[in-house]
Amino acid sequence: MVITSQSHILTGLFISFSAIAANAREYDPPVIHNCPPVIREKPDFSGNSQQVVEWDVPTASDPSGPVEVIHQPPSSSKPVQVGGGPESVYYVFRDTNNNIALCSILISVEGK
């Protein structure tokens, strides 16, 4: 946010004021909700090498206005089938001032 301050002495009277510039910009990124850093699932022990993992989709909000999702996993990748190692999924959000926030979720199946 750009803030300008000016002070003037006018006939012995001290006057001070502050004004927010008309082109002020908010620099805080969107606030992400429901973004667990890690999701750990227990194996189903069915002999299947893949484990289906589901989660709630993260969202974001920002006091400056609407937030846009500019990257998310393709709809076909949720639920994720995890096998052979952890998988990462990413959600990227942008507010109206082009501030970016990232949600990265590491998904793993314990014991695999």
CATH for 28-109 (3.90.930, 1.20.1070, 2.60.40, 2.130.10): 2.60.40
pTM above 0.95, yes or no: no
DSSP-based three-state secondary structure for 23:
coil
Separation CA 78–CA 58 (nearest Å): 13
Tokens, residue 88: 């990462």
Q: Residue 89: beta bridge partners?
A: 105
| Residue-level pLDDT at 105 | 92
| Residue-level pLDDT at 78 | 61
Phi-psi region of 76 (alpha: psi -120 to 50; beta: other; left: phi over 0): alpha
| Residue-level pLDDT at 29 | 95
What pLDDT tens digit does each residue of the chain (112 aa) get? 333 333 333 344 444 444 444 444 688 999 999 999 998 887 777 766 677 888 899 999 999 899 999 998 876 556 677 776 788 889 999 999 999 999 999 988 876 5
Secondary-structure percent of the chain, ordered helix, strand, coil, rounded to 5: 5, 50, 45
Any idea where the domains of the chain sit in the sequence? 28-109
